Chains A and B, each alone.
Chain A
């Protein structure tokens, strides 16, 4: 009989004999792309160990290498016990790598865990031999670091050094120059200060204010030499200092000008207006400016630069969920300002009321190109004759939002629609009707209603409505089943990775709509769980955290869904930023063909998680119905 070598009975054929382990690794990044020969070596090198809840793995343990979670869950914490990351099935960590910076990172088992250890020698060998494998782990590390950064204050422009915003085109004069010469030079150059140099050495500084207080007020002759009025030996600042340092130094001493030196040599000048300009990409600054505008047109002009700002934030490493929160804060500010302007025109409100945001604005998850979803809740003592005031305000605000780049809602979920602008009692009645007789069309139309948040006015009205809604929805299994049907209606485009699913609207034939096929089904799923368990949070991440901490979802499921959302939102953001760079309108369509392999894999993982969550949803809320 002819025997091939792999049929030798005493040899291990890893891919055949260890097929279940191999299959698991093939579902795990980055092992899925390993060539068979390398996967075989990984399999033969693996060691499996079991760790009970509460045990700790340290970086100086004798066994080091890449640990892959086959089951269970692990927290990574640093020296200060700050949670860096929470890992579940299929995720991996390398304590040696995490501790390269001396952070004393350790792993704490939070659910009994079965770990696969790829010993360090084999792991390092593989990283040297396989480029994509190596790249995955170098990028994974930076991802971990960025995740760690989530727990710290957002990066601030105030921490940039001075080189980016100081002026280097300096006006220099000599100590012997007359007042008039210097004043003329300053006027010609349109600057507010001049530096007095002798050779290379900075002798003094003279400013507009000095000319006013020390010269004109004292009636000095214009021929006086500048050395007599300059501030001698001025304080300087090093170019490596931050904008924050400069601001601090100026405000403490009451200066508006600081010469900048590098290695003792004069290289520039920074003024208080430079500092203000430098903060233009700070969203806080933008929000403040919005609140000072006197008309919708002014706000529109301010927002014209918004896509560019998002691009800058993205390039500075800001994550999609932070961008979402900030864009939502800006929308809120625009809304509030438009309401204030309308109130100034219409007079004070005749009754208590609340402007309410729905959908992505409600959840604080807006990206570019969001349309408006809003409504008004009036206090029950609002009388019929008050209706025109509220209607007029709704029209002013919605028109203003449209002008500012938040297009009208196609589904008419807007305060201008009568049924979205009602007294609380009628809202309660509407909720009762929706939950008691849920028709599929109605459920689809109103599902975003359940992501509501007060933006302006009496927040108590919004809270009362949400209370009513949770109370009714959580106890009504028929309504939950209808919501589940809706959540199951939009499937993630898993097929797109094999053959392309075509959005039927024509224009985007080879693309998947990340919003419609990714974000919406995911938020639908999480919203349903939240409603069923009376969770008041509306932000998807907060909902997931509450659901996990109250044990309605496992930590693993909650984490997976949060990661899937981040991944899809990040991809949407990335895509929108590329469109901004090309000068195109930002949208939500993505052609996975153009994606790098890793991003495609991550996106597929994200869609797979949604697909599995949908399957679980079907079992929980629609058992026996489909």
Chain B
């Protein structure tokens, strides 16, 4: 409900943009079983942990539909940098040279929005990635994304807090969460591989909580 109202408020400003096209698809219902929903599991790599200083370097995403990761929907988008990669190149293994072949931020964002239409956006540690995505969206279209979001990290934290298990530092990293569900090391570290790793984590989280029964979007938040 909230999202729908907020979208209305910004509707005029985003007219004729990829964001408007994305909003045209109906919002997923909160009481819908998860197998009937589509999720776009996404990960972003950026040049700094501070959204005011850094910029997006790449985006990766993959769709979860009918209860399974649809591997053919995976996409990896390198984003053309305005300032060069700097320090984080060593972390993300992206070099200026590769980025020369990357798309401009507007094209990458348009592709993401096209994939996300009618879906639930899934991120591991959503606030950081969303800050970057929303900032770019405001620059390009004058409004935030206003997409329904599930955060696998928040989900895991809530679950552990409910159970009263103490959280050690690092217990909620993507790798640690996966290990908790017996998922194999995914090792690599680029946006698409992390998105894929997050998608598998989402499946595991849902499978453990639903025990094969009904599980809705409302249960995921």
B70, B73, B100: most-surrounded residue (chain A CB, <10 A): B70
- CB interface residues, A 45-72, toward B, < 8 Å: 45-52, 55, 63, 70-72
Interface check B164, CB cutoff 8 A: no
Instruction: Kindly identify which residue among B73, B101, B102, B187 contacts A20, using a CB–CB cutoff of 8 Å.
Output: B187
Q: Are A9 and B77 in contact (CB under 8 A)?
A: yes
Contact (A48, B111) CB under 8 Å given A9-B78, A19-B188, A55-B212: no
Interface check B128, CB cutoff 8 A: no
Q: Which residues of A contact B199 (CB under 8 A)?
A: 48
B67 to chain A, nearest CB (A): 6
Interface check A43, CB cutoff 8 A: yes
Q: Which residues of A contact B60 (CB under 8 A)?
A: 17
Interface check B125, CB cutoff 8 A: no
Q: Are B68 and A117 in contact (CB under 8 A)?
A: yes
Interface check B158, CB cutoff 8 A: no
Closest to A50 in B: B203
Interface check A44, CB cutoff 8 A: yes
Interface check B36, CB cutoff 8 A: no
Q: Are A48 and B208 in contact (CB under 8 A)?
A: no
Q: Chain A's interface: helix, strand, loop or mixed, by majority? A: mixed
Q: Are B71 and A48 in contact (CB under 8 A)?
A: yes
Q: Which residues of B contact A47 (CB under 8 A)?
A: 68-71
Q: Chain B's interface: helix, strand, loop or mixed, by majority? A: mixed
Q: Are B200 and A112 in contact (CB under 8 A)?
A: no
Which listed segment binds A: B20-28, B46-54, B85-93, B178-186? Answer: B178-186
Q: Which residues of B contact A50 (CB under 8 A)?
A: 181, 183, 200, 203-204, 206-207
Q: Are A44 and B76 in contact (CB under 8 A)?
A: no
Q: Which residues of B contact A44 (CB under 8 A)?
A: 71-72
Q: Are A48 and B188 in contact (CB under 8 A)?
A: no
- CB interface residues, A 78-125, toward B, < 8 Å: 89, 111-112, 114, 117
Interface check B75, CB cutoff 8 A: yes
Interface size class of A (residues with CB under 8 A): 20 to 34
Q: Are A71 and B182 in contact (CB under 8 A)?
A: yes
- Report how far A7 CA is from B182 CA in the complex, Å: 35
A446 to chain B, nearest CB (A): 40
- Report how far A52 CA is from B183 CA in the complex, Å: 12
Interface check B74, CB cutoff 8 A: yes
- Report how far A45 CA is from B212 CA in the complex, Å: 24
Q: Which residues of A contact B181 (CB under 8 A)?
A: 50, 112
B71, B103, B186, B207: most-surrounded residue (chain A CB, <10 A): B71
- State the total of A-B contacts with C-beta under 8 angstroms: 91
- Report how far A48 CA is from B206 CA in the complex, Å: 14
Interface check A18, CB cutoff 8 A: yes
Interface check B130, CB cutoff 8 A: no
Q: Are B67 and A49 in contact (CB under 8 A)?
A: yes
A304 to chain B, nearest CB (A): 54
Q: Are A48 and B211 in contact (CB under 8 A)?
A: no
Q: Which residues of B contact A17 (CB under 8 A)?
A: 60, 74-76, 192
A40 to chain B, nearest CB (A): 10
- Report how far A21 CA is from B72 CA in the complex, Å: 12
- CB interface residues, B 104-160, toward A, < 8 Å: 107-108, 111
B45 to chain A, nearest CB (A): 14
Interface check B198, CB cutoff 8 A: no
Interface check A345, CB cutoff 8 A: no
Q: Are A111 and B76 in contact (CB under 8 A)?
A: no
Interface check B38, CB cutoff 8 A: no
Q: Are B68 and A114 in contact (CB under 8 A)?
A: no
- Report how far A21 CA is from B181 CA in the complex, Å: 19
Interface check A200, CB cutoff 8 A: no
Q: Are A49 and B69 in contact (CB under 8 A)?
A: yes
Interface check A551, CB cutoff 8 A: no
- CB interface residues, B 158-184, toward A, < 8 Å: 181-184
- Report how far A105 CA is from B8 CA in the complex, Å: 53
Report A174-191 CB contacts with B as 1/0, cut-off 8 Å.
000000000000000000
B97 to chain A, nearest CB (A): 13
A76 to chain B, nearest CB (A): 20
A18 to chain B, nearest CB (A): 6
Interface check A12, CB cutoff 8 A: yes
A268 to chain B, nearest CB (A): 61
- Report how far A46 CA is from B206 CA in the complex, Å: 20
Closest to A62 in B: B66
Q: Are B72 and A45 in contact (CB under 8 A)?
A: yes
Q: List 29 A-B contacts (CB under 8 A).
A: A1-B101, A7-B101, A12-B72, A12-B74, A12-B75, A17-B75, A18-B71, A18-B196, A19-B188, A19-B193, A20-B196, A44-B71, A44-B72, A45-B71, A47-B70, A48-B68, A48-B199, A50-B203, A50-B207, A52-B212, A71-B183, A72-B182, A111-B182, A112-B181, A112-B204, A112-B207, A114-B183, A114-B200, A114-B204
**Given A48-B68, A63-B66, A114-B200, 14 new contacts (CB under 8 A):** A1-B100, A7-B101, A9-B102, A10-B75, A43-B72, A44-B72, A49-B67, A49-B68, A50-B183, A51-B207, A52-B207, A52-B211, A55-B212, A112-B207
Per CB-CB distance, the 3 closest pairs between chain A and chain B, nearest first, are A48-B69, A44-B72, A50-B203
- Which residue numbers of A lie inside 8 Å of B, CB to CB? 1, 3, 7, 9-10, 12-13, 17-21, 43-52, 55, 63, 70-72, 89, 111-112, 114, 117
